[in-house]
Amino acid sequence: MFLNIFYNRLKCIVRDKSLIFWTLVFPLILATFFNMAFSNLSKSEALKVVDIAIVDNAQYQRDKAFQNFVEQHSKDIPDSEKDIHLFNVRVVSPEEADRLLDNNEIAGYVTYGEPIRLTVKSSGFNQTIIKEIFDQYSQTVSTAMSIVKREPAALQNGLAEDLGNIAGFTREVQIGTKDKPDITVNYFYTLIAMSCFYGAFFGLKEVTDIQANLSKRAARLNAAPVHKLKVLSAGLFAGLMVSLAEIMLLMGYLVFVLKIDFGNQIGFILLNCLLGCASGISFGALISAANKKSEGVKTAILIVSTMAAAFLAGMMFDRMKYIIQQYVPALSYINPVALITDAFYALYYYDTHTRFYINTGLLGIYTVVFCLVTYMIIRRQKYDNI
């Protein structure tokens, strides 16, 4: 009987077009839009090397410290330090510098002197970088001169070396040792988490169909010689299967079509998806069992709560995840969508699985709690009102 109920519930879920739209098609559409919106985000944030020229004059040739400074920012530092160079520098005559600037071959050129002069054709991101870096140099030199005037002995104490080793302005920092960080991937984590949690709609449907005070079909079912927990467990299991299959389709679309990299820990990813779907379905079952409002009201409650949970997990605004962790850290442990998201995040960025286990462990606990509370509510076999 269990299998027959399971099979029929499976058919009911799969043929519910509205349900399948919201739990499968809608996340696929969102994923496509996310991909369109974020595809250039990483590229635009990557720092591009700026082409500049230095006017070759006597002052430049005399000042070895300045030459050293320019050289530092125009070549890659050895890999161990992971600095990246900022400028492609050409040392040219003033006429050549003007020509290069006119032809847009360089963003600007620097004429070394007192003060250092920057010539540009227009203002922009690259021009600002050039200005900031050479201003920094001027300020450092000016500070050093002041120190030497007051404390000439500083020169013997390594001031010159310090000036010659002005720290790099950019440094690539890797959080773990596995993958290069990609900030957009967090949006896709929250999208998958939200989709897992959309399993709540399956849970809602299953409970509605076994509670005699919620639907006429359920009243007919309650009049039949079958334990309603058997029907519920078959229904929730069917819901879990469909939800998991949908997540696999979504993951497949993200990985193979949109080429989103989720790392290669397939087993852990599946475990997270399974627990995410289970927590979603049990949450929906709880919402349905806990109130006697119409199915429409319950669906509205689910949509609002799922979207709110996804928002707080950072789906619409990636900083939200960090704001919550900074100001209301408890919320990120209560919010199942945030837990699913963070479990993916932990898998992707960290070498150890501690954080992943905490997140998935909490999801497992919530699933059990939601199921137990639902059972406590629906185990009542007679109703006061139908």
Partner 1 sequence: MIVGVKNLVKRYGDLVALDHLSFNVKEGEIFGLLGPNGSGKTTAINCILSLLNYDKGEIELFDKPMAPDAYDIKRDIGVIMQDVAVFDELTVYENIDYFCSLYVRDREKRRGLVEEALDFVGLKDFRKFYPKKLSGGLLRRLNIACGIAHKPRLIILDEPTVAVDPQSRNNILDGIKRLNEDGATIIYTSHYMEEVEQLCSRIVIMDKGRVIASGSKEELKGMIKLGEKISVEIFGLSSVHINQIKNLPNVSSVEYIDKTLSIKYNKGKNNLTTLLDFFREHDISFGRIYSELPTLNDVFLEITGKELRD
Interface with partner 1 (CB under 8 A): 1, 4-5, 8, 11-13, 15-16, 212, 215-217, 219-227, 381-386
Query: Residue 264 and residue 247: Cα distance in Å, rounded?
Result: 17
Q: Which amino acid is at 133?
A: I
Using left for φ > 0, alpha for ψ between -120 and 50, and beta otherwise, residue 168 falls in beta
Return phi, psi of residue 117, to 5°.
-110, 135
Strand, helix or coil at 46?
A: coil
CB of 215 to partner 1, least distance (A): 8
* Residue closer to partner 1, measured from CB, 308 or 386: 386
CB of 365 to partner 1, least distance (A): 31
Query: Residue 250 and residue 20: Cα distance in Å, rounded?
Result: 13
Query: Residue 87 and residue 281: Cα distance in Å, rounded?
Result: 54
CB of 264 to partner 1, least distance (A): 38
- If one counts every other C-beta atom within 10 angstroms of the C-beta of residue 215, the result is 16
* CB-based contacts of 371, cutoff 8 Å, min separation 6: 282, 285
Buried b vs exposed e over 51-84: b needs ≥16 C-beta within 10 Å?
A: bbbbbbeeebeeeeebbebbebbbeeeeeeeebe
Query: Residue 69 and residue 72: Cα distance in Å, rounded?
Result: 5
* Residue closer to partner 1, measured from CB, 136 or 213: 213
* Residue closer to partner 1, measured from CB, 199 or 314: 199
* Residue closer to partner 1, measured from CB, 78 or 225: 225
CB of 15 to partner 1, least distance (A): 4
CB of 343 to partner 1, least distance (A): 33
CB of 20 to partner 1, least distance (A): 11
Q: Compute CA distances 85 → 48, 49, 53, 314, whole Å.
A: 9, 7, 15, 33
CA 309 from centroid of its chain's CA atoms: 15
DSSP states of 126-148: HHHHHHHHHHHHHHHHHHHHHHH
* Residue closer to partner 1, measured from CB, 45 or 384: 384
* Residue closer to partner 1, measured from CB, 75 or 217: 217
* Residue closer to partner 1, measured from CB, 133 or 218: 218
CB of 18 to partner 1, least distance (A): 11
Query: Residue 168 and residue 84: Cα distance in Å, rounded?
Result: 8
* Residue closer to partner 1, measured from CB, 80 or 381: 381
Query: Residue 374 and residue 207: Cα distance in Å, rounded?
Result: 9
Written as six digits, the tokens of 91 are: 């040392």
Strand, helix or coil at 174?
A: coil
* Residue closer to partner 1, measured from CB, 284 or 336: 284
CB of 1 to partner 1, least distance (A): 6
